[in-house]
Chains A and B, each alone.
Chain A
Amino acid sequence: MTAVTYLEAIRQALWEEMESDSRVFLLGQDVGIYGGPFRVTAGLLDHFGPERVIDTPISESAMVGAAIGAAMLGMRPVVEMQFIDFISCAFNQIINFAGPNHYRWGQRVPLVIRGPSGGNVHGSAFHSQNPESYFQHTPGLKIVAPATVADAYGLLKAAIRDPNPVLFFEHKYLYRRIKGELPAANGGDGGSEAPPALGRARLARPGRDLSIITYGAMLHVALEAAERLAAEAGIDLEVLDLRTVKPLDEAAILATVRKTNKVLVLTEEQLSGSVAGEVAARIAERGFAWLDGPVHRLCCPDTPVPYSPTLEEAYLPNVDKLVARVRELASY
């Protein structure tokens, strides 16, 4: 099997889920004729037709609202946000309609809202965001942020099959930068094998000395830092990829704390009110006895995402910043 890009893995997953389940359909801006600005939906219109690949007006709230209505009737809509930043335009439908619906009156809303998130591509304030923390607060939602080709593929399938509203935050920096093979278990077979479960973290690198808990593009920063620290300082990092941001895999988080006794949470969000904060709080609450040092968070500062490369570099976590913070925590 040949290696495919993270982007192609997403396209494959959409294709296969649409092929195997006639309830799955796409809604979004420029997803049909144009195939999406990143080409994630390229070729889908020709294959599945305009009834299942629907170009919509610039109406994020109506796109999500319509997906909610269709989901209630048993369809499996997948909504594309052209850039995930625009999900804020659908905030009400997501947090007030989709999220609480099952709790309020027992009606499931199986839908996926997916799109490119994240920075490091000089997209500035409105094409670089990581909005997961806005939504982690809302009961009833699930949030997935895949870091690998296999997860982009497998977790999107799992998200589409999940009976709940799932926000699927792809990282645009990874779209064409990483390649990998699709899992044989559910690759190219129309999705007959079960995809991985949502809500499970993955141990991306076992280690002894200190744990990095992360997700999305930051996983790759963590893995690179781990190689450097091993070579330069003899520090053996363990790296936990959360994969699902909500619900959090608390057991996996506590297991790595118990193993290494020092934790740094690395995420590409603004620091205040972040997912990293929630992870740190849970560790402080339930893993305190195992800690040999303070829980560190390496996130973005509390500013909008800046445009200029020098500013964005200052804004984003990177390998150098992580290595420095790990050395600090390791010597505590």
Chain B
Amino acid sequence: MPKTTSTSPAAPAKPRRAATAPAKANTKANAKAKPPRPPAADRLAATELTPAQQLDLYRFMKLNRMVEERLGNLYRQGKVVGGLYSSRGQEATSVGSAYALAPQDFMGPLIRNLGSMLVRGVKPREVMMQYMAKGGSPTGGKDGNTHFGDLERGLVAPISMLGALIPVMAGVALAGRMQGRGLVALTYIGDGGTSTGDFHEGLNLAAVLAVPLVVIAEHNGYAYSTPTSRQMRIQDIAVRAAAYGIPGEIVDGNDVLAVHAVTRRAVERARAGGGPTLIEAKTFRMKGHAEHDDAGYVPPELFEQWRGRDPIERFERHLLGGGLAGEAELAAIAAAIDAELVAEMDFALASPMPPPERALEGVYAT
């Protein structure tokens, strides 16, 4: 059974009511789903990670945010060709979970998992070139944003249709088991994505075949403009795990150490033959669906509450309070990232657009 903690007392925002409600209401199951509320305590979870590893996590979260801030600048300068998707506020979920993987493991990230990709070795210039549709991008300009993969780094490219990656990553896990690679496959889904058929089909198939798959459901309050209450009538996505006969876990998605610990447990369980786990990370999307979206439909007080739970600032307080780093050290990390990003951006900007004839190449593998 999932470890369901008692749910938040009340949502500040009054989400629109479902059009119809069943006559009989099971208070627990049918309680109206609310946007996740930040947990009260600021203290982060206990961790087995060394101070050096914790600073590593900090660097990746900071890199995640700073790359996206740079991308925001490029977007405002008109250099990003399509949409720009931010994971602001969700960096701990991406970074903490990806950091729990071993080199042989595979990951299928979604649009808000830039941090996970950075942990797997993706360079900022790759993402910048993708967003700017450059010829030097990993897809050679054929696809944009974080839609690229690299099996050498254990990365499978997503498609925009949500849920689709879950069966695909179940297949990666299945193949890994057949090939005796000892690998675990990890992928992500949002609260909205859990409404898809592939979420159900994929998790169920993975459970029946007991393949080493870990699914992180990022419960970030909104799917584009649609609040969780319009996606489901449950508070906790993790309870769905019971329907598949697999463990469901709930974790504070803004606590990078907690995300790492719970993912690590699930990954180890999967690697040992224990099958899939569904992890629900309670977090919040601090921007709109994409850069063009001002998220005017999100009550300002929700943003305000979650701003106080910013995963990077919380981790800074943890590092400073625990004597794991000093102000100067954290500032030096940020400065080093900034310098790196200037060089990465120069490189990305200098990359030419792809030659038009490339549009016709590569439909078939030979």
Contact = CB atoms under 8 A, between A and B. Distances in A.
Interface in B159-207: 159-161, 164, 166-176, 178-179, 185, 197-198, 201-202, 204-205
B164 A69 contact: no
Nearest to A55: B208
A71 B157 CA distance: 14
Contacts of B363: 102-103, 139-140
Contact of B205 (A57, A103, A104): A57
A279 B364 CA distance: 21
B204 A72 contact: no
A69 B168 contact: yes
B231 interface: no
A192 interface: no
B198 A69 contact: no
Interface in A64-94: 64-75, 77, 92-93
A149 B241 CA distance: 47
Contacts of A70: 171-172, 174-175, 178
Contacts of B160: 96
Most interface-central of B148, B157, B185 (chain A CB within 10 A): B157
A152 B66 CA distance: 56
A20 interface: no
Interface residues of B, number: 42
B78 interface: no
A104 B178 contact: no
Contacts, number: 140
Given A104-B147, A105-B142, A62 B364 contact: no
Nearest to B203: A62
Interface string B121-162: 000000000000000001100110001110100001101110
Contacts of B185: 69
Given A65-B170, A65-B198, A102 B362 contact: yes
Contacts of A63: 167, 205
Contact of B168 (A56, A68, A105): A68
Interface in A6-65: 25, 51-52, 54, 56-57, 59, 61-65
Interface in A313-329: none
A63 to B, nearest CB: 8
B366 interface: yes
Contacts of A56: 205, 208
16 contacts: A51-B178, A57-B208, A61-B164, A61-B201, A62-B201, A65-B170, A66-B168, A68-B167, A69-B175, A96-B160, A102-B362, A104-B147, A105-B143, A139-B363, A163-B364, A163-B366
- The 8 nearest A-B residue pairs measured at CB: A69-B171, A65-B167, A66-B171, A62-B201, A108-B365, A70-B175, A73-B175, A69-B172
Interface of A: 25, 51-52, 54, 56-57, 59, 61-75, 77, 92-93, 96-97, 101-110, 139-140, 142, 163-164
